[in-house]
Structure 1
Amino acid sequence: MPFSLHQWLLPLAVLVICGCSENKSAPVTQPAAPAVTQPDTVAVVAPPAPQDTADVQDVAAFLAGLPVKQASELRPLTSSPAWTKFAADAEQNWSKYHSTRTTKIEDWARQELDSVRQNSPVVFYPFSGPDFLNATTMFPGSSTYVLVGLEPVGSVPGRASLVNPKLFHAVKTSLWSVLSFSFFSTNSMAVDLKSMELDGALPLILLFAARTQHQVTDVRYVQLSLKGELQPVDSLANSPKLIPGVEVKLRAAAGQEKSVYYFSADLNDWKLGQSKAAILNYVRTLGPLTTYVKSATYLMHKPYFSQVRNLILEQSRFVLQDDSGIAMKYFNPSDWRFIHYGTYRKPIPMFAKHYQADLTAAYQDSVHRARPLPFGTGYNWRVNDSNLMLATRQNKPVL
């Protein structure tokens, strides 16, 4: 996995983890995959075929380069030279990732997010793609995670995909930018998550679950009705107005039961109007939220992402985000208390028009000084260049 890169130009080569990109192209150079710009629209995809591997946990471990059970039908595949090399490379890359990012995030979050974590049963992560990795690292004690992106839901890879020699390259390419810079490359998502080997977000969610010491106990394909009701995938006729999703049940190393939901949905106002805001109606049923946003292409700065922005501002107890999330101008200062972390100068050149003068003023406040951020995150991914903001609601959320 390459780590040698051009200084500040690199963010131009990697785009976002978010599930909603603007419907226009931008100059991108990325050695790992051809440039592809994702639209704001979501294609209607037929429900995934039933998986042909019995134990989903073994599939997750296999994708992660980790040992499978002795009795697993996948056990013979792990003796192949291709998988052995893949597993060795994965172990090296993940060891580096944990030492440079995970440990620092966990130490920081224990100190700065302790009370937030204790009051965050539900984490809402819009524009996330399959990034369960960062969500569970920041909020390991939460019981429900709701991820939303444009990437298709996908399926549990069957044996035909697991024995395909292209699988390991697809996994490595998809993980390259998130392990290097904390966010996915749009190019990799557009290409690799529509392939036969990785047909959507689910395979990477399973991989991240295994690599964060979770046991996968169940996978259930779901969809949202127009009223936002969670339904089994075969309970309603296939319709372009339905929101496809998946429910992944996990058990943490300490025994805690968790649910991860991923929905393939476009969050711009026009698309939400077509689906009668089904995804937002569902999120409203979850009670008070902790919302996490990063590398979100500054979409909620725009007037046509007002519905999801308003939902977050109304229903969240806490919002943890970088500057690509909700613009400061939308937070009512009387409703929110802010703590700023790291450094804010300006967005990378691709997003220069989203510079916030009021955020610069907040970071220059000599009374409420910004606190240290010992790890990189978001588009300005280098340590000492990144920023996070924790917004805490001063009154009860609107439910």
Structure 2
Amino acid sequence: MYFRTAALRLLPAALLLLTACSETNTKTDTASSPKEESMATTADAMDSTTFAVPQPAAATSRPNRLTAPDTTYAQDVALFLGGQQPSQQSSLTQLAAQPTWQAFAQDQDQSWDKYRATHTTSMTKWASTELDSVHASSPTIFYPFSGPDFLNVFTMFPTSQTYVLMGLEPVGSVPARSSLANPKVFPAVKASLWSVLNFSFFRTNDMAVDLKSVELDGALPLIMLFAARTGNQITAIRPVQLDATGQLQDAPTDTTKAKAPKSIPGVEMKLRGSNGQSKTVYYFSVDLSDWKLKANNAPLEFVRNLGPLTTYVKSATYLMHKAYFNQIRRLVLRRSRYILQDDSGIAMKYFQQGAWQFNHYGTYKRPINLFAKHYQPELTAAYRDTLRKPKPLPFGTGYNWRQTDSNLLLARRLVPLAD
């Protein structure tokens, strides 16, 4: 495990961030032409600068678990993975009585207490004031390049009804009890959460290796964990997919059959908030680069049909700065009433002049060295504007994760939504 020594924790932030990426290093069969770069090849190029990551042994075949899981069991799994006591009737109660889980639960309580003190409290207070008008008109939140990060999007937008997350990570499934009985699951989960709880983003290459090694096979287990730790109760989970036209369908339960052409795998999770409000979370495993969307634009069609959006972008490896992410960038700009992002989102040069009102928060200096070429002089000028001075940002976020270095931009549309 990479986070087990104090020495590593004391490495300069630049080294810790060197391997940071909001998407996994999942391989795709990309062509050699520069026009066919994708989210996956961008992640691979970044990974080439890092130390070698040992690959886990091939996972053993498991029974088909694409059928909708028992809701009570799913909620207990979410609690168990988050270090919270499952229900008394749960089949996981015996596992939760073991010393390994007890120690894990105590450690998780300490980590989450620290996270609340350093992030959640400040983020919630800031969002309740600076995003109050956004909350009032944001039933649907779109979070591209999210990975399993339900934690941050829910903290920023706790009153929304629908959250649509998209990333390269495979969807995954609700872990079986046999996987949860593996004592290695606890350090794997702890390692996977370490960077998001300390820096607000995932070191997803490490996350992928750690979780696969204990047969937690995608984004869903962590989304479930975050739902439980943010006070939500899981009321239903079902595997879904998008067909070629972007319509939502139940996923086929027979995994021995060939996958439908151009289908996009996903999951739908229904939640009940602590205030009783019902919520729906979607996660789709998809590459949002232009050449992938040209072959299959189902994700774009699905998002277009959601109605007016509020889009949230954080720690997105500056993908929408690039020419080969034009389609997803254009969709966000055309269908969003609000965009909340750090500087890794949409470059300022792509916002139509006079069509948006901007509120800047925090500090903008320049990207970390890994992304130095994405420096934006326009943002420097905006942060030096003496007439519209940036507002404080009382928490850290993004790759420049220290509070004194972090930035957020809230863009509000001034013109009607594009068709």
State TM-score, norm by structure 1: 0.92
Q: Check if 1:364 corresponds to 2:384.
A: yes
2:266 to 245, 249, 267: 245
Q: CA RMSD in A?
A: 2.1
Which digits, 9 at most, give the CA deviation of each residue in 1:79-118, with x for residues without a partner?
Answer: 0011001100000000000100000101111111110011
2:328 to 308, 314, 317: 308
2:243 to 209, 225, 229: 225
Q: How far apart are 1:165 and its partner, in Å? A: 1.4
The one-letter amino acid of 1:150's match is L
Distance 1:241 1:196, change over 3 A: farther
Mapped contact 2:188–2:214 kept (Cα < 8 A):
no
Question: Displaced runs of 4+ in structure 1, greater than 6 A?
Answer: none
The one-letter amino acid of 2:190's match is K
Q: How far apart are 1:18 and its partner, in Å? A: 3.9
Q: Check if 1:82 corresponds to 2:100.
A: yes
Which position in structure 2 is the counterpart of 1:256? Answer: 277
Structure 2 residue ranges without an equivalent (≥5)? 25-38, 56-62
Which position in structure 2 is the counterpart of 1:42? Answer: none
1:184 to 202, 216, 232: 202
SS of equivalent residue, structure 2 residue 212: coil
Mapped contact 2:123–2:395 kept (Cα < 8 A):
yes
Q: How far apart are 1:166 and its partner, in Å? A: 1.4
Q: Check if 1:93 corresponds to 2:134.
A: no
Identity of aligned residues (%): 58
Distance 1:324 1:367, change over 3 A: same
Q: Check if 1:317 corresponds to 2:322.
A: no
The one-letter amino acid of 1:177's match is S
The one-letter amino acid of 1:250's match is L
Work out the CA distance in 2 between the residues paired with 1:200 and 1:333.
Answer: 40
Q: Check if 1:111 corresponds to 2:132.
A: no
The one-letter amino acid of 2:418's match is V
Which digits, 9 at most, give the CA deviation of each residue in 1:293-343, with x for residues without a partner?
Answer: 010000000010000000000000000000000000000121100000000
Distance 1:337 1:374, change over 3 A: same
The one-letter amino acid of 2:388's match is H
Mapped contact 1:151–1:189 kept (Cα < 8 A):
no
Mapped contact 1:68–1:74 kept (Cα < 8 A):
yes
Mapped contact 1:14–1:177 kept (Cα < 8 A):
no
Which position in structure 1 is the counterpart of 2:31? Answer: none
Structure 1 residue ranges without an equivalent (≥5)? 37-45
Mapped contact 2:191–2:207 kept (Cα < 8 A):
no
Work out the CA distance in 2 between the residues paired with 1:67 and 1:351.
Answer: 41
The one-letter amino acid of 2:73's match is D
Work out the CA distance in 1 between the residues paired with 2:10 and 2:168.
Answer: 28
The one-letter amino acid of 1:153's match is V
Q: How far apart are 1:68 and its partner, in Å? A: 1.0
SS of equivalent residue, structure 1 residue 55: helix
Work out the CA distance in 1 between the residues paired with 2:203 and 2:305.
Answer: 32
Q: How far apart are 1:191 and its partner, in Å? A: 1.3
Work out the CA distance in 1 between the residues paired with 2:361 and 2:54.
Answer: 33
Work out the CA distance in 2 between the residues paired with 1:12 and 1:284.
Answer: 34
Q: How far apart are 1:193 and its partner, in Å? A: 4.2
Q: Check if 1:334 corresponds to 2:354.
A: yes
Q: Check if 1:124 corresponds to 2:129.
A: no
Which position in structure 1 is the counterpart of 2:53? Answer: 34
Work out the CA distance in 1 between the residues paired with 2:83 and 2:357.
Answer: 43
Q: How far apart are 1:178 and its partner, in Å? A: 0.3
Distance 1:35 1:141, change over 3 A: farther
Which position in structure 2 is the counterpart of 1:9? Answer: 14
Which position in structure 2 is the counterpart of 1:215? Answer: 233
2:294 to 273, 291, 297: 273
Q: How far apart are 1:28 and its partner, in Å? A: 5.1
SS of equivalent residue, structure 2 residue 45: coil
Count of residues in correspondence between the two structures? 387
Mapped contact 1:12–1:28 kept (Cα < 8 A):
no
Mapped contact 2:364–2:380 kept (Cα < 8 A):
yes
Which position in structure 2 is the counterpart of 1:344? Answer: 364
Which position in structure 2 is the counterpart of 1:145? Answer: 163
Mapped contact 2:23–2:169 kept (Cα < 8 A):
no
